[in-house]
Amino acid sequence: MEFILDTADIDAVKQLDELLTIDGVTTNPSIITRSGKQPEQVIKEFVEYLLPDQKFFVQVVSTDYQKMLEEARYICGLRPENTYVKIPVTRNGYKAIKQLKSEGLGVLATAIYSADEAFLAAMNGADYLAPYVNRMCNYGDGIGQVFDLMQMLETHGLNSKILAASFKNTEQVHALISAGIDAVTLPPDIVYTMMDHPGTKIAVDEFSVAWREAYSRDTLLE
């Protein structure tokens, strides 16, 4: 499974990259605007920082078909490998996905609200499908829709990977990881929540106190 960070905060990525195995970074226009930086700056920071085998996903902003293609070619030209353009599944988006895949570019179909949208993008050859899990939950059974999508891809032998996105709590993440999802992209705060069960700190404090009381020091080695 691929574990991706959903953020434009380079410092947050650097910090988590030291702690965990991070397979890449996703951004979208809203995430980039929230960074308070210019988009060129955000993109440059990640292009310079990410290792060649870490993936970078950048979304087109234009909604016009030709302009989407121009932005997509620009994005994929930023790094020689492992850069994917995110294309929302609008009418122009489906058309752009077909065209960009015919050019051999890496494509993630995004802003997906249903298994059907994702399935059609998979038929167009999208490498990744990004169902917006929490937003789908606002319309109904978002987790169930992703389960359906997993089954639909399997049944029809489609190779697109599901990169589940738009999580708002760890229960949503847990449900999809348990089910064998291909990839998740998570905001740093959700990653920290997954990492930090309060019981762990209590247990470690207990070990330290017992050790200090018995041996008057805080280390194994004197």
Neighbours of 37 (CB within 10 A): 16
Joined tokens for residue 81: 């490998």
List the one residue from 5, 8, 28, 190 that touches ligand E4P (CB under 6 A): 28
Distances (CA, A) of 210 to 126, 200, 221: 55, 16, 16
Rg of the chain in Å (alpha carbons): 20
Q: Does 166 sit near ligand E4P (CB under 6 A)? A: yes
CA dihedral 118, 121, 123, 129 (to 10 degrees): -60
Taking CB under 6 A as the criterion, the residue among 130, 149, 162, 190 binding ligand E4P is 130
Does position 114 interact with ligand E4P (CB under 6 A)? The reply is no
**Rounded to the nearest whole angstrom, what is the least distance from the CB of residue 112 to ligand E4P in the complex?**
10
d(Cα 107, Cα 83) in Å, to the nearest integer?
9
Does position 6 interact with ligand E4P (CB under 6 A)? The reply is yes
Q: Report the residue from 98, 135, 182, 194 that binds ligand E4P according to the rule CB under 6 A.
A: 135
- 37 included as an active-site residue: no
Binding mask 71-90 for ligand E4P (x = CB under 6 A): --------------------
CA 23-106-173 angle, 5° bins: 40
Interacting span for ligand E4P (CB under 6 A) from 76-84, 131-139, 171-179, 210-218? 131-139
Torsion angle in degrees (nearest 10) through CA of 149, 27, 84, 61: 100
Q: Between residues 112 and 150, which has the closer beta carbon with respect to ligand E4P?
A: 112
In this structure, what token pair is assigned to residue 212? 């200090």
Tell me the window of 117-125, 129-137, 152-160, 176-184 that interacts with ligand E4P (CB under 6 A): 129-137
DSSP structure class, residue 20: S
Tokens 């249903």: give the residue. Answer: 114
Site string for ligand E4P, 30-49 (x = CB under 6 A): x-------------------
Stretch of residues binding ligand E4P (CB under 6 A), selected from 26-34, 42-50, 90-98, 141-149:
26-34
E strand intervals along 123-198:
128-131, 161-164, 183-186
Catalytic residues: 86
> What residues make contact with ligand E4P under the rule CB under 6 A?
6, 26, 28, 30, 110, 130, 132, 134-135, 165-166, 185
